[in-house]
Amino acid sequence: MAAPQTLAPQRDDPSCSAIALHDISLSFGGLDVLRDVSLDVRRGEIVGLIGPNGAGKSSLLNVMSGFYRADRGGVSIDGTRLDRLRPQRVARAGVVRTFQNLGLFAGMTVLDNVLTGHALHGKVGWPHYLLRTRAARTEDRRNREAALDALASLDLQDHADTLVSALPYGVQKRVELARAKAMTPQTLLLDEPLAGMNPDEKHEMVSAIRSARDIRGTTVVLIEHDIGVVLTLADRLVVLDRGRVIADGPPTTVAADSAVIAAYLGTRH
Ligand SMILES: Nc1ncnc2c1ncn2[C@@H]1O[C@H](COP(=O)(O)OP(=O)(O)OP(=O)(O)O)[C@@H](O)[C@H]1O
């Protein structure tokens, strides 16, 4: 019998870069938000991005996903520059971001919300949809299958026809992850995916994120304030403080780093 196919790429292969940031700097009206940030995220890695409030974490995800344009530095995948692309093109290149506050349409069903990700992602132009060409119908069918797969992977299949507004907050957060997963990203950028969840909902979300990596080999960069969760989920922790990377390494080593502890306790030297 043939050996089972391994979907997750070799995580230890340093040549397998999922996304790389080179000397990123960003400021708003004289406020330095990011300062010379360099980061190489390897394929299949789960990276926890942590740091005190206002450290620049969301801004960094915005730069990676094309929502912000850095003043200096570059973002690339395997040498291909992303930093001049709009978010929609970055998503097509495989890098998909979720937001801290839900970006769902409350008055639409769960399935339709998940399908909106594809509306941005579609390759077949609108004239095909207008004329209901075969290409449009095929893309429609594929999108629907991918959406239903993503819903099933998060145990949301029974909610496909439910209005988002009728669901508890924790389930809505899973719908948001399903929408991102349905776009079959190589890299998921998750901005506080567990915020506001109860312990059971957190547990389910952690499993969903881990399985995205374990089953599909998806690279994950996530911002999370619950340090207990980050320590169990992440392969690597990157700590930002006042726009700079102050630590980058294995979670237990980083959590014990005196500069990190000082940044969190507000006792910087
Ligand atoms: N579009 C913007 N215009 C002006 N200032 C901004 C903008 N985006 C971010 N900032 C500022 O950049 C700094 C870093 O914000 P950012 O949201 O990236 O931090 P964070 O580490 O994600 O914080 P938190 O953990 O509180 O969400 C803050 O001072 C914020 O006010």
User: How far away, in angstroms, is 56 Cα from ligand 1 center?
Assistant: 6
Which residue, judged by its Cα, is nearest atom 17 of ligand 1? Answer: 58
Which pairs with CB-CB distance under 8 Å and at least 24 residues apart come from 99-105? 99/176, 99/191, 100/58, 100/191, 100/192, 100/195, 100/223, 102/172, 102/173, 102/176, 103/176, 104/164, 104/172, 104/175, 104/176, 104/179, 105/164
CA-240 nearest atom, ligand 1: 21
DSSP 190: E
* Partner residues linked to 76 by β-bridges: 20, 81
Q: Residue 154 and residue 178: Cα distance in Å, rounded?
A: 7
User: How far away, in angstroms, is 243 Cα from ligand 1 center?
Assistant: 10
Q: In which order are the strands placed within the sheet that holds 72-77?
A: 31-42, 17-28, 72-77, 80-81
Q: How confident is the model at residue 141 (pLDDT cuts 50, 70, 90)?
A: confident
Question: Chain-wide mean pLDDT for the chain?
Answer: 85
By the 10 Å C-beta count (0-12 exposed, 13-18 middle, 19+ buried), 133 is classed as middle
Q: Using a 6 Å cutoff on CB, does residue 28 contact ligand 1?
A: yes
Q: How confident is the model at residue 82 (pLDDT cuts 50, 70, 90)?
A: confident
Q: Residue 144 and residue 138: Cα distance in Å, rounded?
A: 10
User: How far away, in angstroms, is 24 Cα from ligand 1 center?
Assistant: 15
pTM of structure = 0.85
Which residue, judged by its Cα, is nearest atom 12 of ligand 1? Answer: 33
What value of ipTM does the predicted structure carry?
Answer: 0.96
Q: Using a 6 Å cutoff on CB, does residue 55 contact ligand 1?
A: yes
Q: Using a 6 Å cutoff on CB, does residue 53 contact ligand 1?
A: yes
CATH superfamily of 11-94+186-269: P-loop containing nucleotide triphosphate hydrolases (3.40.50.300)
Q: Using a 6 Å cutoff on CB, does residue 69 contact ligand 1?
A: no
pLDDT of residue 267: 54
* Residue extents of the structural domains in the chain: 11-94+186-269, 106-184
